[in-house]
Structure 1
Amino acid sequence: MTLEEAQQQVDCWIKKYGVRYFSELTNMAVLTEEVGELARVMSRKYGDQSFKEGEKDNIDDEIADVLWVLLCIANQTGVNVTEAFARNLEKKTKRDNTRHINNPKLHDHGEE
């Protein structure tokens, strides 16, 4: 599935099952909530915290939730994510094409 297809599927789902998009500001709050849920799983799986009883490692679902809300925000603000991502990748490549390679901090862990 392409990003464009994902945007279209989200839009179709919202129109069929969701009645309408939440407001842009509500979706920004929902995005923040979803990123927090992803952070909780990450801190338990990769950090120093442990899972509480009843919690599960559902990192895949949490990432999908974040992507879903991002696609909702893109749809309702008229952003073509495919085009925006391509421009962003080009910007990063021009700006950082030697920055990370020349960063000794990234080579300190034997991962060259």
Structure 2
Amino acid sequence: MLCPCGIDREYEDCCGRWHAGAPAPDALALMRSRYSAYVLGLPDYLRATWHPSTRPPALDLDDPEARRVVWLGLQVKEHRAAGDRAEVEFVARYRVGGGSAVRMAERSRFVREGGRWYYVDGDTA
């Protein structure tokens, strides 16, 4: 199976490594793996890679509305890193049920602590 993150690689050789527990090497790889986790319905991975200071108390991808989301693609616009901090700007497209496609643009912030990258927060456009 090709990786949902949009890189032309097999899932096991791409985001599957990070989902299995290996630390993502940079914020860009983490962001792509988090997108793939939404596509594949992996809430435990999403919570584990969310910085504790901003992590929501619960993330239920099994609720009826979340199950209706069909992810259509990811486009990375920019990746900037400075030491243990990074930003990734991306556009993700999705559809809820049979509705029209929605474009979600975000500039996400990441931090590296203890050798692991974490999603902190983001600004949506």
- TM-score, normalized by length of structure 1? 0.24
Structure showing the higher helix proportion among its residues: 1
Which structure exhibits the higher relative contact order, with contacts defined as CA atoms closer than 8 Å and separated by 6 or more residues? 1
- TM-score, normalized by length of structure 2? 0.22
Structure showing the higher strand proportion among its residues: 2
